[in-house]
Amino acid sequence: MTAIHRLSQDVADAIAAGEVIERPASVVKELVENALDADARRITVDVRGAGRTSIRVSDDGHGIAADELQLAFTRHATSKVASLADLQAISSLGFRGEALASIAAVADVECASGGARIHLRAGELVDEGAGPLLPGVVIEVRDLFANVPARLKFLKSDATEVAAIRDVVSSLALLHPHVRFQLTVDGRTSVATTGDGDRRRASAALHGAAVATEMLEIVGMPLVTGLVSQPRVSRGSRDWIVLAVNRRPIASRSLLYALEECYQGRLERGRHPVAVIDIGIDPELVDVNVHPAKREVRFREESTVFAAVQRAVRAALGGSEPFFYRAPAYAPAGDHVLTTVAAVREPSVAFALEEIVPAPAAIATKLRPLGQVGPGYIVAEGPDGLVLVDQHAAHERILFNRLLARLHEGRGMSQQLLIPAAVDVEPALMAAAIDNRAELSALGLELEEFGPRSLRVTAVPAEMPASRATKAVQESLAALAESRSDGAIEKAAAALACHSAVRFGDLLEMAEQRRLLDDLEAAEDSVTCPHGRPTRLVVEWQDLVRHFRRNY
| CA-wise closest residue to 256 among 242, 237, 270 | 242
Q: How far is the CB of 33 from Mg ion (least distance, A)?
A: 5
- Which residue sits closest to Mg ion, CB atoms considered? 94
**Could you say which of ligand ADP, Mg ion, none residue 261 binds, taking C-beta under 5 to 8 angstroms by partner kind?**
none
* Shortest separation between residue 28's beta carbon and ligand ADP, angstroms: 13
Q: CB 203 → Mg ion: shortest distance, Å? A: 26
Residue 99 in contact with Mg ion, rule: CB under 5 A: yes
CB-CB contact of 495 with 476 (8 Å): yes
Report the relative pairing of strands 275-279 and 241-245 from DSSP bridges. parallel
Bridge partners of 382, per DSSP, are: 385
| Cβ distance to ligand ADP smaller for residue 35 or 173 | 35
User: Which residues touch 2 (CB under 8 Å, ≥6 apart)?
Assistant: 79, 80
User: Residue 72 touches which of Mg ion, ligand ADP, none (CB < 5 to 8 A by kind)?
Assistant: ligand ADP
Nearer to ligand ADP, 175 or 529 (CB): 175
Tell which positions 17-36 bind Mg ion, by CB under 5 A. 34
Burial degree of 73 (CB within 10 A; 0-12, 13-18, 19+): buried
Stretch that binds Mg ion, among 99-107, 207-215, 470-478, 538-546 (CB under 5 A): 99-107
94 binds Mg ion (CB under 5 A): yes
Phi-psi region of 403 (alpha: psi -120 to 50; beta: other; left: phi over 0): alpha
Q: Which is nearer to ligand ADP, 70 or 194 (CB)?
A: 70
Residues that bind ligand ADP (CB under 6 A): 4, 30, 34-35, 38, 59, 61-64, 72, 77-80, 94-100, 137
Say if residues 231 and 271 touch (Cβ distance below 8 Å). no
What residue ranges in 143-258 does DSSP mark as E strands? 180-185, 188-192, 215-218, 224-229, 241-245, 248-249
**Which does residue 97 bind out of ligand ADP, Mg ion, none, counting CB within 5 to 8 angstroms by kind?**
ligand ADP
100 vs 274, beta carbon nearer ligand ADP: 100
Residue 77 touches which of ligand ADP, Mg ion, none (Cβ within 5-8 Å per kind): ligand ADP
Bridge partner list, 241: 275
Alpha-carbon gap, residue 152 to 144, rounded angstroms: 8
Of 249 and 385, the one with the shorter C-beta distance to ligand ADP is 249
Cα separation, 189 vs 44, whole angstroms: 11
The residue among 363, 361, 349, 385 whose CA lies nearest residue 213 is 349
C-alpha–C-alpha distance, residues 102 and 112, integer Å: 18
Query: Cα–Cα distance between 35 and 29 in angstroms, integer?
Result: 10
Q: Which is nearer to Mg ion, 21 or 99 (CB)?
A: 99
Q: Which residues pair with 423 in a beta bridge?
A: 455
User: Could you tell me which of 263, 293, 291 has the C-alpha nearest to residue 277?
Assistant: 263
- 171, 181 Cβ separation under 8 angstroms: no
Q: How far is the CB of 184 from ligand ADP (least distance, A)?
A: 18
Size of the site for Mg ion (CB under 5 A): 3
Compare residues 99 and 105 and give the one whose CB is closer to Mg ion.
99
Choices 66-74, 94-102, 264-272, 487-495; region in contact with Mg ion by CB under 5 A? 94-102
Residue 118, binding choice from ligand ADP, Mg ion, none, Cβ under 5 to 8 Å by partner class: none
C-beta closer to ligand ADP: residue 128 or 302: 128
Q: Can residue 102 be called a binding residue for Mg ion (CB under 5 A)?
A: no
| Residues between 313 and 332 that touch Mg ion (CB under 5 A) | none
| CB contact at 8 A, 139 and 31 | yes
Q: How far is the CB of 319 from ligand ADP (least distance, A)?
A: 39
Give the pairing of strands 536-540 and 446-449.
unpaired
243, 259 Cβ separation under 8 angstroms: yes
Q: Give the CB-side neighbour count of residue 446, counting CA atoms within 13 A.
A: 12
Q: Which is nearer to Mg ion, 17 or 359 (CB)?
A: 17
Alpha carbon 132 to its chain centroid, in Å, reads 42
Residues 6+ apart with CB under 8 A from 511: none
Which does residue 234 bind out of ligand ADP, Mg ion, none, counting CB within 5 to 8 angstroms by kind? none
Dist. CA 245–CA 296, nearest whole Å: 10
Nearer to Mg ion, 99 or 539 (CB): 99
Q: Which does 247 bind (CB under 5 to 8 A by kind): Mg ion, ligand ADP, none?
A: none
Q: Which of 62, 250, 24 is nearest to 154 (CA)?
A: 24
Q: 4: which DSSP letter?
A: P
Cα distance between residue 536 and residue 231, in whole Å: 13
Q: Measured from the CB of residue 160, what is the shortest distance to ligand ADP in angstroms? A: 25
Count, residues in the chain? 552
Binding span for Mg ion by CB under 5 A among 97-105, 113-121, 181-189, 265-273: 97-105
Question: Minimum Å distance from CB 76 to Mg ion?
Answer: 12
Which CB atom, from 169 or from 497, has the smaller least distance to Mg ion? 169
Minimum Å gap between C-beta 72 and ligand ADP is: 4
Kindly state the smallest distance separating residue 189's Cβ from Mg ion, in Å: 26
Q: Is 401 helix (H, G, I), strand (E, B) or coil?
A: helix
CB of 20 to ligand ADP, least distance (A): 10
* Smallest gap from residue 181 Cβ to ligand ADP (A): 14
Question: Taking the complex as a whole, how short is the minimal distance between the CB of residue 35 and ligand ADP, in angstroms?
Answer: 5
Q: Using CB positions, name the residue nearest to ligand ADP.
A: 94
Binding partner selected for residue 442 from Mg ion, ligand ADP, none, CB under the kind-specific 5 to 8 Å limit: none
Binding residues vs Mg ion (CB under 5 A): 34, 94, 99
